[in-house]
A and B are shown apart, each in its own frame.
Chain A
């Protein structure tokens, strides 16, 4: 059996079309169920088990070998380093890590930064010679800038509509990120052939999209 951990929400939604286009099996009720584990039998890949996990937990499941494969954003992999193999850039669920804030603060010196990515934010600001205080929040980061808890936010931006709705603007686009297919090293070495056929399909589909772009 192959266990695949999917990052719930944006990443899973962004990757599923690609997954289906590649002709890979997916449980029918994945979208509209509250269940977290889905098992299915597939003629080509045998038993497959899908786990829906919080994005930050996907590398954890994979590194401990409870999941053989995982689908998760590069931002998560960069922030929480874990021993996992990064097999493929799926080039889907694209987002940008951005520094943003109120228009009025744009030209001020950064002092307080609210983020879900303390490590990356620290790296970014230190590399620019700025000593900032990092405030770690777990969601709705925009709020911190709106109410003045922080003068910058360091966060993932997909369409920018949340920023706009809250009167915030992007100061700097730091890094483009996309979803990655990751694997447990041990599973990869021992179940290589099974993973490889799945990987080939995805790789071909990604390549087709790449040419269309």
Chain B
């Protein structure tokens, strides 16, 4: 046994905050998972693309709210322009695809496997499994140019087949719609600021504040429960009082339209046998503002945060100069590995790298 001690003299080089070393066995396993997923995507005609790690902040902010940039790692280029390490791949793909779409390419089907970055104080081993890691690996697809239930169902199907490909034993997909909760609150004739606050509470899971805000706005029903009980797989879960109320206003008609779409989508999912590990949950609100249609997250025991996330973003490409409908999702590879190996993957890199 080599003698271990504290490095009093500062002989060893420091590892930067939040960064994590991955030693032989583990690096290989991660690479295998990445490449199996990329191969699956490739077989489904999603071609692998790549790009640089930096993007300009103004690029990343197209189509989204300033406050979403709070945990980006920012720096200045030599001319003083603000850059950031990409927090995800979707804006980069949109940037790359827009000129091609504008030049007449009808459809872009790309996939990627890249590292993404966030500011965090959490230790990497834990944040990889559950929180926001400083550096993590995302493997995903973006399908630009396709829309409709059939396309969305195909994306859901692809996401599920990736999990099967990896033999992930237990998982649960939760589906919602980005427009449902906002329209639902508008149909209740709540003020704009209240709606923003309610949506923020839903995305953060601050249900205590949600309830007190709803009560303070003069709503007597338990709104959260009403939302939670709605299940597009059972059209009958929509209570009569809601339907009646929705008929009376413009916003009501809009939320009814979203509901009808979701019921249709639910039927497509059932027909295609995709609803077995899937549940709708209309309290699910993603904290990414560019989503316009279905959104989904996949959970697996052992990982404290989603192992896959995605949704439809029909307005984002317009922000990049080439309006086109789009949908995509990404796997969080380190979280998948944690779930696949019951946490062993995180521990073993210490053992192999340590003494």
Contact = CB atoms under 8 A, between A and B. Distances in A.
Interface in A176-213: 180, 183-190, 192
B348 interface: no
Interface size class of A (residues with CB under 8 A): 20 to 34
Contact of B205 (A66, A89, A188): A188
A189 B281 contact: yes
Contact of B208 (A66, A88, A187, A190): A88
Contacts of B174: 189
B345 interface: no
A87 to B, nearest CB: 5
A122 interface: no
A73 B323 CA distance: 48
Contacts of A185: 205, 304-305
Contacts of A190: 172, 299, 301
A186 B206 contact: no
A109 interface: no
Nearest to A62: B304
A89 B306 contact: no
Contacts of B306: 186
A57 interface: no
A86 interface: yes
Contacts of A87: 205, 207-208
A83 interface: yes
B130 interface: yes
A88 B207 CA distance: 7
A64 B305 CA distance: 8
Given A65-B129, A183-B205, 20 more contacts: A63-B304, A64-B126, A64-B129, A83-B131, A83-B205, A83-B305, A84-B205, A85-B207, A86-B208, A87-B207, A88-B207, A88-B208, A185-B304, A186-B130, A186-B303, A189-B172, A189-B284, A189-B299, A190-B301, A192-B228
Closest 8 CB pairs of A and B: A65-B304, A85-B205, A65-B130, A64-B130, A190-B299, A86-B208, A64-B126, A89-B208
23 contacts: A63-B131, A63-B304, A64-B126, A64-B127, A64-B129, A64-B130, A83-B132, A83-B205, A83-B305, A85-B205, A86-B208, A86-B209, A87-B205, A87-B208, A88-B207, A88-B208, A180-B208, A183-B205, A185-B205, A186-B304, A189-B174, A189-B284, A192-B281
